[in-house]
Amino acid sequence: MRITNKIMQNNSLRNINTNKQLQSQLSIQMQTGNKLTRPSDDPVIAIRSLRLSANLTKLTQYNEKNAEDATSWMKATEDAIYAGEELIETMYNECNRNTSDDKNTANYQAALMALRQSAQEFYETGDADYGGRNIFTGYRTESKLQFKTKEDTEYRIFEEFTLNDLQTRTHINTVNPNKAADPDGDIFGYTEANGFDVDETMVKTEEYTRFRLAYDNLKNLNVETPMPARDGHPEDTDLCIRYTDQTGASQTIPLTMKNSTDVGAYTPGDNEAYILYDTGEVVLGKNRVSTMSALPNTTTYTIAYEKNEWVNGDLRPEHYFDCHVAKEMPDNKVDILEYESGSRQRIEYDLGANQSLQVNTVAGEVYIHDIGRDVDNLEVVINQLEKLDNIVNSLEEKVASLSEGAALDEANLQLTAAKKAQSLVKDQVQKLFGSTMTTMKSYQDLINLAGTNIGTRGARLDLIKNRLSGQQATFKELYINNNHKEIEDSTTELASAKLTYDAALSATAKILETSLMNYI
């Protein structure tokens, strides 16, 4: 093939342009510090870069965002738990100070006020939030733990118990079984006209076995209709305890709704069971307790009840129990919303491929109803003692005003009965402070366990963060080594390319100086 001057000229220009492109590429590499300006420069390095970049992005998300967010969430939880633990310690000490018999009703009322304030502040710590999200309310991070205003929302609550929740308690009976209850529901049978209408033999202690519900002041289904039906959720007018026996058959124990001031409210028949809507207690007869005791301790007993009046400070049921909520619709119909218990709503953060860590603590692990309910029990009995103090003082004044005769004898009999009731109730107050002190210690253990769980998860999170930091550093180094080009290398290669370019220009100039015209 004949090589002409034109061919030589074109080849020289193409090679010079290729060298110029190389200089441009090397110049860009020197300026950016990257090996590639486009994927086609080196497909192998480009593919490896994409893989390393994806892995590095994931590790950065896990380590610098998810792990840090999890750490902050658990720190906020830990702070709230420790604050609550200190309040329970305060309540324990307050109970301890009031177990002696040298206290009077005024001392007990002062102690009750201190306990009530501590309990309220304890539950307030349960409304702690992180970044505007409530940390103890499961998935419902927009919802507070407590009702903040008075509400009339109607709930049907499904509360579960085991045999470990059965409690034996003492009730001081001062009701005259031969008389109708006073209109004001006075359990002491006292009126200004008749005095203390109970004799000494009627004043006695009664032991009873109960499940204590999470709430008191329940909806009284004796005078109010139950929640309406909807889509497979019929009106459950049959109040009962539901459970499954050893054969797998579903069983029920019927419940009769009563008020705690009703005659015999704490002494059901052997085969009976009452639900006391004012105190939130389920009182069981002897045979019912025996039937339960014969079943495994793990047997679950479900009690469905309704409550439709809520006040500031009440704990929202949806964070603890499965429940249905009646919601009024614009067409005056009632829709039933279903809530799954928040106790099963665990928030987990992804911290690696196929690895996650729970960051939240649910309300039922710390802010249990029993703490407030124990204070409620103390309040009931201390108020009873205060009322008996007033009755005794009134009767003593009455006795002092009488000289002799049947009226004086009757007043003395009433005073003896009232003093007996006063003594029994005061003894009950002291014992209740003692038992509450013991339960406060168990609540401390429960809260300590929640704090320990947070600490354990925090320690695991620290290990994960250390591992993620190491992996992130490793992949970052691999990514840099794969993509980065040292400026020294780029400078040397650019100088070499420039030298080659200059030499090519010189050689091409010499070659193109000669043509056929030189030989003619």
Q: Between residues 336 and 40, which one has the greater pLDDT?
A: 336
- Given this model, what pLDDT does residue 241 score? 93
Same domain, 263 and 389: no
Amino acid at 98: N
Q: How far is CA 218 from CA 44, 77, 310, 336, 376, in A?
A: 72, 32, 10, 19, 15
Q: Count structural domains, the chain.
A: 3
Query: Distance between CA 430 and CA 334 in Å, rounded?
Result: 48
Same domain, 330 and 376: no
* pLDDT for 398 beyond 90: no
* pLDDT for 209 beyond 90: yes
* pLDDT for 231 beyond 80: no
pLDDT above 90 covers a percentage of the chain that reads: 48
- Pick the last residue of a domain from 327, 345, 363: 345
Same domain, 402 and 513: no
pLDDT tens profile 77-102? 999 999 999 999 999 999 999 888 77
3-state SS class at 209? strand
- Given this model, what pLDDT does residue 212 score? 96
| Mean pLDDT score, 430-446 | 93
Tokens linked to 281: 């207690």
Same domain, 188 and 235: yes
Same domain, 384 and 300: no
- Pick the last residue of a domain from 329, 345, 361: 345
- Given this model, what pLDDT does residue 127 score? 93
pLDDT tens profile 259-272? 988 888 999 999 99
Same domain, 279 and 151: yes
* pLDDT for 177 beyond 60: yes
- Written in H, E and C, the secondary structure of 45-74 is HHHHHHHHHHHHHHHHHHHHHHHHHHHHHH
- Given this model, what pLDDT does residue 183 score? 47
Of the pLDDT bands very low, low, confident and very high (cuts 50, 70, 90), residue 117 is very high
- Given phi > 0 = left and psi -120 to 50 = alpha, else beta, which region is 339? beta
| Mean pLDDT score, 197-220 | 88
| Mean pLDDT score, 34-48 | 66
* pLDDT for 224 beyond 50: yes
* pLDDT for 250 beyond 80: yes
Tokens linked to 81: 């738990």
Same domain, 300 and 176: yes
Tokens linked to 326: 């009646």
Of the pLDDT bands very low, low, confident and very high (cuts 50, 70, 90), residue 185 is very low
pLDDT tens profile 356-378? 999 999 999 999 999 999 999 99
Same domain, 310 and 224: yes
- Given this model, what pLDDT does residue 287 score? 95
- Domain containing 4: what range? 1-33+485-520
- Given this model, what pLDDT does residue 157 score? 93
Nearest to 468 by CA among 354, 376, 309, 352: 352
Same domain, 215 and 159: yes
Same domain, 369 and 497: no
Nearest to 206 by CA among 163, 241, 165, 175: 175
Cα dihedral 498→500→505→510 (10° resolution): 150
Same domain, 374 and 437: yes
* pLDDT for 463 beyond 70: yes
| Mean pLDDT score, 344-349 | 90
Same domain, 155 and 288: yes
- Pick the last residue of a domain from 300, 325, 345: 345
* pLDDT for 194 beyond 50: yes
